[in-house]
Structure 1
């Protein structure tokens, strides 16, 4: 309210924008922050320009909500333009689920994407290399991008890598048009790259990672057709801490031994679930060469035999969680090796291991009361640092 004093009006409406920005930032209540802009156009501008993150309501399951995923082509572009014009300071933008969003909409990022650091385009099925080119041109500060199930190829990925040199987190899962050529461009140009997801990219053998930076610490490669040479490329940077190569059921028995050949010394979590043919040669090499391992998923790894189990028990001194569900060749002797070794083991996921007798199991429980036995099969638990750095 105005004060009729001789010093002039003191209404809050006369406060400079800097003060209003501070007031807005100090609001703890979400409802207060949302209603702040209802006061007047000036306050609405303060609210809009303070927003740093936006998730558009195009998520699956919100099919009754008017969104970019349901609008016509022309409306899509107009709505997206209005969105970017209103929120000009965005650092994070999610358009995941906007299945009909066209490439032309992303051209607006050339005018409004200069501050954008994170972009999520999951299941934007109509986004192609042309749209990715607009992202590359308009978002030079981009550090994180998710292209899950997008129809982009090596050409688009190379364009992105040439412009967005600060990329740290890239999700390419189910991008079937991406091959080792695109991965090579990404890993060679973006030397700060920390996390890559290439699950179900069947055209990637892994050789594109050869010579990658030591910064690469996190790789999801579930159900990929990795070659032994590609596995060597994946670990070539020497910085990996988390590696998921599950469902490599076709790999030869020693195909993963490169992981333990000297460049996997930082690995903390390995997921080999359903790598049915991985043999003792690889297991022994990895157990010896990866001393920091904290979790190892070997569920359904049928060819791991006594030499492998004994190596795990003897060398994996930091192993806290081990998955051995449905391992056909885990016998009483192998269980004894795990029992007598692995002194830091805290959780053992074990079920349907038919070569283990009830006597051996009860003896394990008695002598290793410090180990929690769990029968349910679960995926490897991503470490705390993974969620902090790559989410």
Structure 2
């Protein structure tokens, strides 16, 4: 028995790499995985080659006041070289928050980015079109890229879209230098697009989306200068399920929602019209009648909706589960009654600071629709959370 315990042929150190990879993949805690790599150089190599994602300590993937206030760590070409050499099988890489990262730092992806599927560069203020050319040249399998607040332009998007044809999720929020030309290249070359954010891109009118793929299901366009032709182009693929055009205060020539072909909006499930102060009854009636799958609708601060609009929502939105009507100036007792008598699947009503609604109307709503939760809270963001994740 003692001889068997010390026989090298029975030692775990003699197991082939395939077995060790199998063992490592079954380790659940991070401490166990770190301990595995500290055993010896061979086991460290197996740990390194098994790693699929990397996020720097200064990085963040959830943009909020806490993450944005973190101190930045300077990431140099040398840092990236060592880490990409050490972890050759990376599929996800987050450099978000590396505000001093230069374009040259991404040149390493030409040799080490062939397996990358997800890349986050949020708030990498030094990244321009030149840096995107390295991404395009080295990451042919890329499906997710986040360029929040990067200094990229249309040329960079064109270069990226010609090489990374499998792109699905693209975050361009606050990329103020891009226009419809870059969006057109992206939507025409990348036919598997699933979600795009162009929020606060003030040079985008939306026309670049004309003829986009039916796979496009999620679009964020908060605080954009969308034209009527642009909104028609955005829905032209016919596959949109989530659309955010909140704060559409820049629209000069109207919103054009009433002229959209019903076929292109039939799949919409979540709509965010918060702060769209020019959205009127005609648009509300059109959407309520044509978007039969609608489950959530944010109409907070939509002041032009009157009784005609509220009645249409009540009688047509049979699948609506969540409705936001905070601070709607023209929502009165009669409008609330229309919502109460209709919307049979309603679960949550976000109702607050509607000055024309009496306490009696609210109590009557609670009495007759006790299954509906009335919430005195204004929600800024609604919709699915699957887009742009690592």
TM-score, with length taken from structure 2? 0.93
Please report how far the alpha carbon of residue 345 of structure 1 lies from its aligned counterpart in structure 2 after TM superposition: 0.8
**Distance across 2 between alignment mates of 1:216 and 1:241:** 8
1:267 aligns with 2:271: no
Q: 2:127 matched to 1:123?
A: no
Q: 1:344 to 1:380 in 2, by over 3 A?
A: farther
Task: Indicate how the Cα distance of structure 1 residues 122 and 115 shifts in structure 2: closer, same or farther if over 3 A, else same.
Answer: same
Which whole-Å CA distance do the structure 2 matches of 1:162 and 1:334 have between them?
51
Residue 326 of structure 1 is matched in structure 2 by 327
Q: Report the equivalent of 2:159.
A: 159
Deviation at 1:368, TM superposition (A): 1.3
Which residue of structure 1 lines up, in the alignment, with residue 62 of structure 2? Answer: none
Q: Which residue of 2 aligns with 1:80?
A: 80
Q: Give the aligned partner of residue 26 of structure 1.
A: 26
The number of equivalent residue pairs is: 381
* Superposition pairs of residues 5-16 of structure 1, within 5 angstroms: 9-16=9-16
Structure 2 CA distance, aligned partners of 1:313 and 1:253?
25
**Aligned 8 A contact 1:171 1:197 in 2:** yes
| TM-superposition CA deviations, 1:297-348 (whole Å, max 9, x none) | 0000000111111111111110011011110111111111111111111111
C-alpha contact (below 8 Å) 1:298/1:325 kept by paired residues: yes
Task: Return the alpha-carbon distance in structure 1 between the equivalents of residues 171 and 183 of structure 2.
Answer: 12
Q: Secondary structure at the match of 2:263?
A: coil
Q: Verify: 1:364 aligned to 2:361, yes or no.
A: no
TM-score, with structure 1 as normaliser: 0.93
Structure 2 residue aligned with 1:233: 233
Say whether the 8 Å CA contact 1:250–1:275 is kept in structure 2.
no
The answer to whether the 8 Å contact 1:296/1:380 transfers is no
Residue 202 of structure 2 is aligned to residue 202 of structure 1: yes
The farther-off stretch of 362-371 and 105-114 is 362-371
1:258: Cα distance to partner? 4.6
Q: Structure 1 pair 38/221, CA: closer, same or farther in 2 (3 Å)?
A: same
5+ unaligned residues in a row in structure 1: which ranges? none
Residue in 1 that maps onto 2:280: 279
Q: 2:74 aligns with which of 70, 74, 77?
A: 70
SS in 1 for 2:10: coil
Match of 1:313 in 2: 314
Any idea what the Cα deviations from partners look like across 1:177-219, whole Å, max 9, x if unmatched?
1111000100111110000011100000000111000000000
Query: Distance between the aligned counterparts of 2:70 and 2:363, measured in 1?
Result: 50
Aligned to 2:348: 347
Moved more, 252-261 or 94-103: 252-261
C-alpha contact (below 8 Å) 1:260/1:289 kept by paired residues: no
Distance 1:388 1:353 in 2: 33
Distance 1:353 1:135, change over 3 A: same
Rate the CA distance shift 1:38–1:92 in 2: closer, same or farther, 3 A: same
Deviation, structure 1 residue 381: 3.2
**Structure 1's 326 and 334: CA in aligned 2 closer, same or farther, altered over 3 A?**
same
Structure 1 equivalent of residue 386 of structure 2: 387
**C-alpha separation between the residues in 1 aligned to 2:133 and 2:168?**
18
Structure 2 stretches lacking a partner, 5+ long: 60-66
| Alignment partner, residue 183 of structure 2 | 183
For 2:48 and 2:84, how far apart are their aligned partners in 1?
10
Partner of 1:174: 174
**What secondary structure does 2:267 align onto?**
coil
SS at match of 1:225: coil
Take 1:87 and 1:365, find their aligned partners in 2: how far apart are those partners?
Answer: 58
Relative to structure 1, is the Cα distance of residues 338 and 40 closer, same or farther in structure 2, using a 3 angstrom cutoff? same
Aligned partners of 2:339, 2:169: CA distance in 1, in Å? 36
Calculate the aligned-residue CA RMSD, in Å.
2.0
- Is this contact kept in 1: 2:269–2:294, CA < 8 A? yes
Aligned equivalents of 2:204 and 2:355: distance in 1?
36
Higher RCO structure, 1 or 2 (CA under 8 Å, sep 6+): 2
- Shift of the 34–225 alpha-carbon distance from structure 1 to 2, 3 Å rule, reads same
> SS state of the match for residue 184, structure 1?
helix
Which residue number in structure 1 is paired with residue 63 of structure 2? none
Shift of 1:29: 2.2
**2:89 corresponding residue in structure 1:** 89
Question: Helix, strand or coil: the match of 1:108?
Answer: helix
8 Å Cα contact 2:318-2:343 kept in structure 1? yes
1:379 offset after TM fit, Å? Answer: 3.0
**Distance across 2 between alignment mates of 1:8 and 1:301:** 76
